[in-house]
Every structure is written in structure tokens, then in C-alpha cells.
Amino acid sequence: MADAGHVPWWRDAVVYQIYPRSFLDTDGDGVGDLRGIERRLDHLVWLGVDAVWISPFYRSPMADFGYDVSDYCDVDPRFGTLADADRLIAAAHERGLRLLVDWVPNHTSDQHPWFAESRSSRSSPKRDWYHWRDGRDGRPPNNWRAAFGGRAWTFDDATGQWYLHLFLPQQPDLNWSNPDVVAAMHQVLRFWLDRGVDGFRIDVVHCIGKDPAFPDQPAQLGEIDRVGIQNEPTTHELIRGFRRLVDSYPGERTTVGEVNLGDLPSIASFYGRGDELHMVFNFLPLHAPWTKAAWQDVIERVAQELPTGAWPTWALSNHDVRRIRTRLGGEDAARAAAVLLLTQRGTPFVYQGDELGLEDAVVPDAHRVDPGGRDGCRAPLPWEPGPSHGWPTPSPWLPWPPEADARNAASERDDRASMLRLYRDLLALRRRSPALRRGSLHLRDALDDVLAYEREWGGDRRLVLVNFGDREAEVPLEGSWAVDVASRPQPEPGVVPAHGAAVLAPER
Ligand code: NOJ
């Protein structure tokens, strides 16, 4: 029987998201690669994260920069080789880091051999691996819209039918009601589990089940794209199927699913009864404005609306949205947001570069490459002061983020007051404080603009104060407290600067 007090590693972990094209290049093509990741693992250990999630590095025509996979069981040559992946997994494990890979089950690339075969004729044995339908008098089978604009169906001249794609036409949706598709995708999971990965970040997992009748979506939903509403009950059984597979491997392999449904009750349902996803991304903080009311609401709702046992997750940024520093407009608030992120109850995900306080790059129109307009947050990581910032080329695939001569890993490592050192201090604190990693969270009354909450676990306590206001706030404290980590130096434990935050520990 499992030890009742046992906490699986992923609940105690902080996960660092690597966007491999932009982490570090080693072969001079201007695109990051797996060897670049391996080279900087020691830096991530120094930073103090526990695990990395690497966005897709599989073979791909790159219409959606890797989220259009043409071979799930090979590494794209731009990123390296399978041998590099094996070395990276081993190198991470040698350093005590866990490694999650990205699994993209909803769609393949249109260049995947499965789709090539499927589209080759109506009688292809793989025809039913994707969603093919007749049109309605020359119009698509239904009114669904795709995520990057346009309709979610593309007509295939050769076979005279339409195929479904919730994203780009180059990303046809797999038909998960076909047991052969389920078996083939389970095989992909086994392929990576056998190689030793510790789990999967699962792309738009809420989309995999489809109603075979493909009804129109109601007119009142207008032009809203399908990804934000696709929520078919059959998806849950499919998730339980691969959860059993993942759980059959030793070593507490894990899953964290991307469920792009805006409301928490829907998100909560993807935890199942502890038999679906281990974790589900909580995207509320990506859209929360910088106000006490908004953040208090997010924290309260996560506590109230996730079922008992459903372990929350927290993220401030990722490769799909503007960075937290850009959204908040200033460094002070971005520093306070780091305190918020790393003191929540749940597993935090840090998007590469947020720990350097990076802003989105300004990408001139002529250099824009992403069909979803997300280039800014995907700019390459500067490792050193200029001109090539530790990359083999001064001109990688996207422009550098602003102020890269000051905001780079080497300069910030040397600067005790940098954002990087703040992240490192917070990560070290989280590691040594069971209250922060595992404890209860209780909101406390504080002044107008100050959000205050206490974390507690087995006698360990921390009080977190976040000042969302434009003025210094003096918070009356009960008992005697000392500053553990603060986003900016503060004169006294209860005196929090404008847009500042602090973690306090009781004085003994
Ligand atoms: C979500 C991913 O995060 C995003 O980058 C991608 O474009 C879509 N899913 C489609 O795979």
C-alpha cells in the first residue's frame, strides 16, 4: 500500500519550461538545440528548479514551430538526434532534474505519413485516422472556426472531402474514436517512457474527443474558435486510458494537461477522480490584471473550485502569451509576481527568461514568423552581454529581447539585486520551507492594496505580503516576523514598497 504521507515528486517540484528553439544554439544555425539545453543544465541546477518541460523537438515542418509533428519518435535535425535526446535525459537525471516532454495528441502535421496515407484515397486503411466529412452543398461540414483564424475544415480536391483541423490546415486532427489511433499514440508514450522521461505536458488535451455528428456550434457563440469550447465527454475515458499506461511505469511519471477552457469547473473535471490528469494548467494568472482583487479572486477560486486532491498549478507566462513583465509594464510588479508564483499552493511553472525579467522582443513585421503572432515571447535567451549573447551567431531566428546586454544570465548571476537572484532566492526558500511547498493557504485581512496570505505545514509557517498599490504600505503584523525574501529591500518586515512583495518567517 502507498505510504499515506508520501508526496509525489511533482507536487514538491518547480518546473522550468524550455522553448528549445530559443534556449541555446550550439551548431550555428540560429535555432536552439538539445545540446544547448544539456550545456546549461548546471545553470538550471544552480537556479534551483526541480524539473524541465521541453516544448516539442520532434520532426516537424515547423508550420506551428514543432506543434505540427511529422514523426513523434524522432528528433528534428534542427534540434539534434535521438542520441542527443538520450544523452539529455541521462544528463538531467545525473543532476537530479526530472524531464517532461511535450506530447501533441490532438493533431499531427499534414506531412505525417499517417495523414499522407489517410488523404491518399477514400478507401485508405488510415482514412479513418483523421476526421473526413462530406461538405454541405459545397460548404464545410459545420461552422467551426480554427484557432489561428478561418474555418476548421479544409477541402481536399483529390478525394473530394473536407478534413478537420482545430488549428492550422497543416495540423489535421486525429480521430481518437478509432482504436488504432489510440494504440498508435499509446505507443508514442511508451517510446518516450521507455527512454526514461518523467512525464508529459499534453497539448490541448481537452480537444481529443469529438462528437461524430459534428453539430454546428450555436450561433450565439459567433466566431469564437473551437479550441476554447471543445469539451466532449468521451475525452475523459481517453485520458483515463493513457493515465493507466503512464501509471504502469515505475518512478511516478506524471502528466500535466493543457485545457484551454476558461472556467475552473471545466478544468477541474480533467483531474477525474484522481484517474485522469495528474495536473492541469491553470491559466487564470495569465489573464489576471495587476490588482489585489483579481489575484485574491484567482487564489480563492483555485482553492474552492478544484476538488480535494486535485493539485493546482501556477504559471505567469508561456510560449503562447505576452510575458509577465511585458503585461505588467514594469520590473517591480514582475518581481512581486515572482513572489506570488513561487509561494502558491500548487506546482509552479517558470517560463524560460521570466527569471531574467525579460520583456517580449519587438519583432518588426518583416521578421514575424508565427501564424499566431506569438514571436515576442519566444525571443532567444541571452546568456551573456553582446553581441551574440553566448550564441554562436549574433542573428538567431528571432531578434533578441530588449536590454539583452544587461538582462542576460551571466550579468544577472553577478548582480545580487537582479531578477535572476530573486528567483534563485525564492526557489531556495521554497525548497527549505515545507509550508511553501505543501502547506495550507489562508488569506489574511490586510490593508486596501495589500494581499496577505499565510502558508502552514507541520509547524512551519510563512506570511506573504504583496502590495499592488503605488505607495509604500505599512502592514500591522501580529507577532514578530523577519523577512525571508523580499522582491525589493524593505526597511521593516511589515513595510512593503509600492508593487513590492515579501515572504516573512516567524521570529523564534
Ligand atoms: C497549444 C500550444 O501551446 C501552442 O503553441 C500550439 O500552437 C497549439 N497548442 C497547437 O498545438
For residue 334, pLDDT beyond 90: yes
DSSP helix/strand/coil, 85: helix
Residue to mutate, 174, 204, 281, ligand 1, most ligand atoms under 8 Å from C-beta:
204
The pLDDT-based confidence of 508 (bands split at 50, 70, 90) is confident
Interior/surface letters 493-508, b for 16+ CB within 10 angstroms, e for the rest: bbbbbbbbbbbbbeee
Alpha carbons 313 and 104: distance in angstroms, whole number: 20
Ligand 1, atom 5, residue with closest C-alpha: 320
Q: How far is CA 142 from the centre of its chain?
A: 31
Nearest to 130 by CA among 64, 181, 170: 181
The pocket around ligand 1, CB under 6 angstroms, is made up of: 64, 67, 104, 167, 203-204, 258, 319-320, 372
pLDDT of residue 194: 98
| 326 CA distance to ligand 1 middle (Å) | 21
Question: Which residue of the set 110, 173, 203, 354 is catalytic?
Answer: 203
Return the ∠ at Cα 20 (arms to 402 and 175), rounded to 5°: 125
CA-67 nearest atom, ligand 1? 11
Residue type, 15: V
Ligand 1, atom 4, residue with closest C-alpha: 320
DSSP tag of 155:
E
| 289 CA distance to ligand 1 middle (Å) | 23
pLDDT of residue 1: 42
Which residue stretches of 31-126 are H helix? 34-39, 41-47, 82-94, 113-120
| 325 CA distance to ligand 1 middle (Å) | 22
8-55: pLDDT as tens digits: 999 999 999 999 999 999 999 999 999 999 999 999 999 999 999 999
Please measure the distance between the N-terminal and C-terminal CA atoms of the chain and give it in whole angstroms: 39
68-84: pLDDT as tens digits: 999 999 999 999 999 99
Cα radius of gyration (the chain): 23
**What percent of the chain clears pLDDT 90, i.e. is strictly above it?**
96
Mean pLDDT confidence for 343-354: 98
Residue to mutate, 68, 112, 167, ligand 1, most ligand atoms under 8 Å from C-beta:
167
Residue type, 364: P
| 202 CA distance to ligand 1 middle (Å) | 10
CB 462, CB 503: distance < 8 Å: yes
For residue 58, pLDDT beyond 80: yes
Q: How far is CA 497 from the centre of its chain?
A: 30
Spatial strand order in the sheet of 501-506: 440-444, 450-457, 460-467, 501-506, 481-486
Alpha carbons 143 and 162: distance in angstroms, whole number: 13
Return the ∠ at Cα 189 (arms to 186 and 194), rounded to 5°: 125
Residue type, 80: G
CB 470, CB 476: distance < 8 Å: no
**Residue in the structure block whose three cell numbers are 508565427:** 370
431-470: pLDDT as tens digits: 999 999 999 999 998 888 999 999 999 999 999 999 999 9
| 330 CA distance to ligand 1 middle (Å) | 27
For residue 180, pLDDT beyond 80: yes
Alpha carbons 118 and 67: distance in angstroms, whole number: 20
Q: Of all residues in the chain, what percent are helix, strand and coil, respectively (each to 5)? A: 30, 20, 50
pTM for the model stands at 0.98
Return the ∠ at Cα 85 (arms to 347 and 169), rounded to 5°: 80
CA-372 nearest atom, ligand 1? 7
- Judge whether 94 counts as a catalytic residue: no
| 112 CA distance to ligand 1 middle (Å) | 17
Ligand 1, atom 2, residue with closest C-alpha: 203
For residue 3, pLDDT beyond 90: no
DSSP helix/strand/coil, 143: coil
DSSP tag of 130:
B
CA-258 nearest atom, ligand 1? 1
pLDDT of residue 115: 99
pLDDT of residue 464: 98
Question: Which residue of the set 50, 84, 173, 258 is catalytic?
Answer: 258
Residue type, 275: D
Query: Could you tell me the three cell numbers for 219?
Result: 450561433
| 68 CA distance to ligand 1 middle (Å) | 9
CA-167 nearest atom, ligand 1? 10
| 203 CA distance to ligand 1 middle (Å) | 6
Query: Could you tell me the three cell numbers for 13?
Result: 517540484
Alpha carbons 3 and 5: distance in angstroms, whole number: 5
Number of neighbours of residue 117 by Cβ within 10 angstroms? 15
Ligand 1, atom 8, residue with closest C-alpha: 67
Residue to mutate, 203, 283, 318, ligand 1, most ligand atoms under 8 Å from C-beta:
203
384-407: pLDDT as tens digits: 998 999 999 999 999 999 999 999
200-211: pLDDT as tens digits: 999 999 999 999
Nearest to 317 by CA among 285, 362, 289, 292: 285
For residue 223, pLDDT beyond 90: no
Ligand 1, atom 10, residue with closest C-alpha: 67
DSSP tag of 151:
B
Ligand 1, atom 3, residue with closest C-alpha: 320
- Judge whether 507 counts as a catalytic residue: no
Ligand 1, atom 6, residue with closest C-alpha: 67
Query: Could you tell me the three cell numbers for 490?
Result: 524593505
